[in-house]
Amino acid sequence: MTRLAVFDCDGTLVDSQANICRAMEEAFAAARLAPPMRQDIRRIVGLSLVEAVTALLPDADPALHRSLAAAYKANFFRMRSSGELDPEPLFDGIPDVIAALLDAGWVLGIATGKSDRGLTHILAHHALTAHFVTLQTADRHPSKPDPAMLRAAIDEAGAAPETTAMIGDTSFDMVMARSAGVRAIGVAWGYHPAEELLATGAHSVADSPRALMAHLS
């Protein structure tokens, strides 16, 4: 039976917080709004853009949410096109755990709040594209923690919930995993603290990428 490990991207595979915070701050500044605190921006990483902006400005008009989300996307595209993006490094040990999972016969996927374009770029940049058989993004699914993208990953990989694990750094990932009936593995190196991951459904939390294999066994 297919064993499927589905990874979140931002905060789990790559440390992308600098670019996310900058693009969001510039979107708010362009709208003549006080930019959110960076710790607040990090907390919404993983949500789809409109949902992320709504979480930052819950009392604002939906039209403003959509406008800020569009400005964020435009900022990120400009930063990438002009070479202004800060490096988005893989967390230490991620290439090794990917190799170990593949050697052990796992099939790999990604479920992320990134766009198709953003995910394609980051995987190509780190030469990881060929390792993942299913890529699910915010372009084609409701925002996390809705389980739609995780269920699509399971179907596309030919797996089953009972042989699937979701690996992520946010409470959104843990709630999504539980809703889809899969194992929820939190990671302690991302953007939500370990105690929050456990409180929102993580079966366990890995302290480092090198520890992930033990949590998946």
The pLDDT, as a whole number, for residue 198 is: 98
Which sequence positions are flagged as catalytic?
8, 10
Q: Chain-centre distance of CA 79, in angstroms?
A: 20
CA 31/CA 56 separation, integer angstroms: 14
If you compute the radius of gyration of the chain from its CA atoms, what whole number of angstroms results?
17
pLDDT, tens only, 115-125? 999 999 999 99
Rounded to an integer, the average pLDDT of 98-110 is 97
pLDDT, tens only, 170-189? 999 999 999 999 999 999 99
Instruction: Report how far apart, in Å, the C-alpha atoms of 42 and of each of 36, 46, 55, 97, 170 are.
Output: 10, 9, 12, 24, 10
pTM given for the model? 0.94
pLDDT, tens only, 60-97? 999 999 999 999 999 999 998 898 888 899 999 999 99
Question: Which residue has tokens 């995910």?
Answer: 119
Residue 217 has pLDDT above 90, yes or no: no
Residue 214 falls in which region: left (phi positive, over 0), alpha (psi -120 to 50) or beta: alpha
